Structure 1
Amino acid sequence: MNGAVEFPLDLPELSFRAAGDSLVRRSVLPSGLRIVSEHVPGSRSLTIGYWVAVGSRDEEPGHFGSTHFLEHLLFKGTATRTALDIAIAFDSVGGEHNAMTAKEYTCYYAKVQDRDLPMAVEVLTDMLTSSLLDPIEFENERGVILEELAMADDDPSDVANERFFEAVMGHHPLGRPIGGSAETIRAATHAAVHEHYRANYRPQDLVVTVAGAVDHDVLVAAVTRAMALSGWDLNVSAPPVSRRSGVPATLAQGSPVSIVRRPLEQANILMGFPGLLATDDRRVTMSVLNSVFGGGMSSRLFQEVREKRGLAYSVYSFAPGYSDAGLFGMYAGCTPAKAGQVAELMLGELHRLAEHGVTAAEMTRAAGQLSGASALALEDSDTRMSRLGRSEITLGEFIDLDEALGRLAQVTADDVQNLAAELAAGPLSISAVGALDDDVFDAILPATVPS
């Protein structure tokens, strides 16, 4: 293929060859159900995902935490399968199955041998379409989720991360925790979660993606048959749900500094700025910037903070993007007495990048790191399956390895410097967990927050 391949919602069939001679096929059924596959030559296994384009950001008041709650409940049994039956189905063939709730989607997935595709389709379809949402299981799972949240609350890096999203995103729904809070989970009602299920789990909401040893025609027939047996009416004509708007949201910063005091040996520090949307053409530039700045052991953060000064064991940067907002963040874990110094170093490195740019050697290393990591990741059918899901739900286009590498080659040092300057000019947000004083970050705040 040459260039990205668009995924129009009104195109019934699409087929093309991608890098490595994989065959990508896509079917949009009259019901709005979308099925996308990538046949990878030489594969003996496959990964299948059932995607629903609803995440924590889509929850209304009274439903906070429902998406994550529902993800748990769909494993608890249907009219024809108990929770144990579901587990046995995959365990008995050496397969893996799980689910993930994100801010903008939910995915239920499995990895199996090619011969076990019919079983995986039958079980995952049954789970999605015919969950009992049993009231007793609902209460049992409430306890499980509260334990999961308690485990996360015991992890200072998780706490700092949640506070960081709140700080950067403010009251935007992306700033809310994916799993809800202990308060919202305790307040969740069976009726609210059931309503969330019925409103968002329909044929036109569903995307099925499979990568590996898959025959598309066999896949479509298996999904169609399983859906019909489940009671979903695929004969009713409906367009697929529209993709999210890519219009950038106006973010109102939350608290610029959020410190959670705990008697810990380390301080967990997150700091950063609003970033790029998932569909921004500069995402590849962001990847290069992130690689140079904090994406590996040769990155500036790792070298300056850990190697030269020994101030942290873990230090890195990250840059998640969503449909209408994104963020750019830096993380370090260090002794509380060094927290201010580490924060100054991290911010100083970003400003140095913005003012003086990157070297030719850094650009070469970043290109090598990103191209190699991309190629290695695609050895795994999980990655390919997820790429199909993101292409269909978020991007609206498919970008194969060759196209990705071509775009990477077009990024210049000026592009990276200009993006660094744009990020550094944004409102700085800091979150930290540990035994810290109120004024620990004052040295880097005056230009952003009046003292």
Structure 2
Amino acid sequence: MAVRRTALPGGLRVVTEHIPSVRSAAVGVWVNVGSRDEGRSVAGAAHFLEHLLFKATPTRTAVEIAQAVDAVGGELNAFTSREHTCYYAHVLDSDLELAVDLVADVVLRGRCLAEDVEIERDVVLEEIAMRDDDPEDTLGDVFLSAMFGEHPVGRPVIGTVESISEMTRAQLHSFHVRRYTPDRMVVAVAGNVDHDDVVALVREHFGPRLMRGRSPVPPRKGTGRVQGRPSLQLISRDAEQTHLSLGVRAPGRHWEQRWALSVLNSALGGGLSSRLFQQIRETRGLAYSVYSTVDTFADSGALSIYAGCLPERFDEVVRVTTDVLAEVARDGITADECRIAKGSLRGGLVLGLEDSGSRMNRIGRSELNYGEYRSISDTLARIDEVTLEDVNAVARTLLSRPFGAAVLGPVRTRRSLPRPLQTIAG
């Protein structure tokens, strides 16, 4: 079997996938901690800490960490989401030991020095400014706030200028010590690797942390139902385009109809033949960029549509978008649309897993989110099992729910918005 799993003392899990056709290895340490686990006073701490841990360990400076990975032509990086953080390295298979050493050193022994906190604080504030300069990035955060309100997944991963400016070294160090424990971690490795060799390396480099008496933290189930209704949030800004995100809440990733939702999303706005792309861009030429997407969390999610257009075309874009959604809610998608959407999902899944980095992401995320490996064959079978009736039942259920929306651009007041948006709660 290509994918193997070992549970070590302390609750640490090691998952590997052997890919003999490549000469690389991707190593990831997945931590079951994200922005939704932060208190308001430390909003952005998970992302801030991700930056900070690369600055120094007891045996390496930031320069030495960078030099070590550059010397083998590898990549060392990390990312933070609302529900997890991943530190990863991508190297030649012959440099596997170095990759495990580097990632473990950063994750377990990053020092959180006071002087580094001040330097990295400025970097994160620059990142917030960069986010604010990108309309789609800004709109994405504002849209999830409109959809989920006070629920933790509605907060920006990156934090705010205020929270980052006020965060202390003690708070970040405490977040690291309390949250980064082996029972919350998965070490995922994919490439031309041997499982037993990987387990031996993990035992060596995680050493003293592997204390008996703890079991792996179970997959996140969330905190229950999101309260309140989605809202409308308006960001008035001088810009060449007006940007829209419009959507409805959906159940989380454990929902039994999530595969039907994926097919619906693909048919609505997932590709060049999707209904929204054809109606808004190809037939009318109203926008260059229009697509739909699904955000999924443990206990909640959202199906959303994005479009960016010239301000004078905004009213028509909103009208066409809401007409398409109303039509699909009423009549569903066609058999041809369902067939094409399923084929697109199958092809995208397989083609997206052609390298060791993608495979590492898949096995690490699967273990963290579900506590098991879900094979590509199983996923393809789940997609194949989706029927047209399944998709249209999901469309009727979700697209009849209250909409939330975020608008960014030269729009001054709610009353100047197209009528379908004015009906959304403020």
TM (norm. structure 1) is 0.91
Q: Name 2:47's counterpart in structure 1.
A: 68
1:116 aligns with 2:95: yes
Q: Name 1:336's counterpart in structure 2.
A: 311
Deviation at 1:248, TM superposition (A): 4.4
Kept in 2, the 8 Å contact 1:62–1:192? The answer is no
Deviation at 1:449, TM superposition (A): 4.3
In 2, distance between residues paired with 1:262 and 1:29? 52
Equivalent residue pairs, number: 425
In 1, distance between residues paired with 2:73 and 2:39? 39
Matched ranges for 1:301-320 at <5 A = 301-320=276-295
Q: Name 2:225's counterpart in structure 1.
A: 249
In 2, distance between residues paired with 1:407 and 1:186? 46
Kept in 1, the 8 Å contact 2:411–2:417? The answer is no
Deviations 1:42-92 (A, max 9, x none): 121121100110000000132211101100011101110010111111111
Kept in 2, the 8 Å contact 1:168–1:175? The answer is yes
Unaligned runs of 5+ in 1: 1-16, 18-22
Deviation at 1:243, TM superposition (A): 2.1
- 1:368 aligns with one of 343, 352, 373: 343
1:168 aligns with 2:143: no
Q: 1:233 and 1:430, CA in 2 relative to 1: closer, same or farther beyond 3 A?
A: closer
In 2, distance between residues paired with 1:163 and 1:65? 15
Q: Which has the higher helix share?
A: 2
Deviation at 1:378, TM superposition (A): 1.3
- 1:153 aligns with one of 122, 132, 148: 132
- 2:329 aligns with one of 354, 359, 373: 354
Q: Name 1:237's counterpart in structure 2.
A: 213
Kept in 1, the 8 Å contact 2:329–2:400? The answer is no
In 1, distance between residues paired with 2:99 and 2:34? 23
Q: Name 1:83's counterpart in structure 2.
A: 62
Matched residue type, 2:227: L
Deviation at 1:430, TM superposition (A): 1.2
Q: For 1:99, what is the secondary structure of its paired residue?
A: strand
Matched residue type, 1:192: Q
In 2, distance between residues paired with 1:218 and 1:299? 46
Kept in 2, the 8 Å contact 1:339–1:440? The answer is no
Q: 1:285 and 1:317, CA in 2 relative to 1: closer, same or farther beyond 3 A?
A: same
In 2, distance between residues paired with 1:148 and 1:447? 34
Deviation at 1:389, TM superposition (A): 1.5
TM (norm. structure 2) is 0.97
In 1, distance between residues paired with 2:209 and 2:263? 46
- 2:170 aligns with one of 187, 191, 198: 191
1:288 aligns with 2:263: yes
In 2, distance between residues paired with 1:360 and 1:161? 32
1:223 aligns with 2:199: no
Q: Name 1:59's counterpart in structure 2.
A: 38
Matched ranges for 1:24-63 at <5 A = 24-63=3-42
Deviation at 1:424, TM superposition (A): 1.4
Matched residue type, 2:107: L
- 2:179 aligns with one of 200, 207, 223: 200
Deviation at 1:446, TM superposition (A): 6.2
- 1:395 aligns with one of 370, 383, 387: 370
Kept in 2, the 8 Å contact 1:343–1:441? The answer is no
- 2:115 aligns with one of 128, 132, 136: 136
Unaligned runs of 5+ in 2: none
Deviation at 1:276, TM superposition (A): 2.6
1:321 aligns with 2:300: no
RMSD: 1.5
Deviations 1:275-315 (A, max 9, x none): 13112121111111111100011101110000111110000
In 2, distance between residues paired with 1:111 and 1:140? 27
In 1, distance between residues paired with 2:397 and 2:416? 26
Kept in 2, the 8 Å contact 1:318–1:329? The answer is yes
Which is further off, 352-361 or 106-115?
352-361
In 2, distance between residues paired with 1:420 and 1:233? 48
Deviation at 1:445, TM superposition (A): 4.1
Kept in 1, the 8 Å contact 2:246–2:304? The answer is yes
Deviation at 1:183, TM superposition (A): 0.8
Among all aligned residue pairs of Structure 1 and Structure 2, give the percentage whose two residues are the same amino acid: 43
In 2, distance between residues paired with 1:383 and 1:233? 28
Q: 1:137 and 1:368, CA in 2 relative to 1: closer, same or farther beyond 3 A?
A: same
Kept in 2, the 8 Å contact 1:351–1:421? The answer is no
Matched residue type, 1:74: L
Q: For 2:9, what is the secondary structure of its paired residue?
A: coil
1:127 aligns with 2:106: yes
In 1, distance between residues paired with 2:151 and 2:16? 34
Q: 1:216 and 1:129, CA in 2 relative to 1: closer, same or farther beyond 3 A?
A: same
Kept in 2, the 8 Å contact 1:248–1:277? The answer is no
Q: Name 2:247's counterpart in structure 1.
A: 272
Q: Name 1:408's counterpart in structure 2.
A: 383
Deviation at 1:247, TM superposition (A): 6.5
Q: Name 1:4's counterpart in structure 2.
A: none
Deviation at 1:236, TM superposition (A): 3.2
